[in-house]
Structure 1
């Protein structure tokens, strides 16, 4: 998912170019116009678990505006903090958990902050760029 500017609607894309040290081409953080400071470690890419979004969406009765770049299924994102992994051809390094914030809570009219604590996803750096595609698998690297 890409959003061209802070608070702009995020839209799904079938593929995105991942640029080391910047982020996803066309996204607010790669352009330096995100809500939070761009260029810091862990600001290039954000991931979230689809199962968490499904569970929270069902409980709320509405989808979650998660604002994460990549939605994955079947990967333990919390375990990737401090570790290298690949998404298709793109090599990343997990930086820290992507905890929910007051901004995300506002965008969803409440109800997401507590349920997403320690389940809000992962912030990562792009080590080796390339093109991400919908359906790419996440694979741990040593």
Structure 2
């Protein structure tokens, strides 16, 4: 059993626009985060697929990028919606889990790409390889907040 938390939440209103930190956001199944580029159908890689509804990254991965590769990234720079702490994201592919009161399903790992490297101007592909986060499908509607628990669902 594990229990983590939401460290920060980030949305971007358009493709390539800087992310904005917010203290809460509404998640809508089949659509994404209200106000985010993919919810607005303006994301760079937009396809109407569940894997584009929500992205997460571990705060520990961002910290490791600095420690191991000297790549300094602000929490929103990896362009993932939710930064977590103490959550084993790589182990959540194919599994349901809870963010606050919202149920989500891990779809696949979210490896860093050359687009992200171009936006940050940093060698993020090497620094975040195999720890670039998780793409997830939103299963229930609700609001998540910074500080919310991230847990395995109660059976």
Aligned to 1:18: 27
Aligned to 2:53: 44
Q: What is the aligned-residue RMSD (CA, Å)?
A: 1.3
User: How does the TM-score come out when normalised to structure 2?
Assistant: 0.87
Aligned to 2:130: 118
Q: Which moved more, 1:102-111 or 1:58-67?
A: 58-67
- Separation in 2, partners of 1:120, 1:21: 23
1:3 aligns with 2:12: yes
1:97 aligns with 2:97: no
Counterpart of 2:91 (choices 63, 79, 88) is 79
1:55 aligns with 2:64: yes
The structure that is strand-richer by fraction is 2
Q: Which moved more, 1:96-105 or 1:109-118?
A: 109-118
The total of aligned residue pairs comes to 142
Q: Relative contact order: is structure 1 or structure 2 higher (C-alpha 8 Å, sep ≥ 6)?
A: 2
- Separation in 2, partners of 1:38, 1:15: 25
8 A Cα contact 1:38 1:44, kept in partner: no
Q: CA deviation at 1:41?
A: 2.3
SS of 1:12's equivalent in the other structure is strand
Runs of 5+ consecutive residues of structure 2 not aligned to the other structure? 1-9
Q: CA deviation at 1:39?
A: 2.0
- Separation in 1, partners of 2:141, 2:109: 21
8 A Cα contact 1:83 1:93, kept in partner: yes
8 A Cα contact 1:30 1:38, kept in partner: no
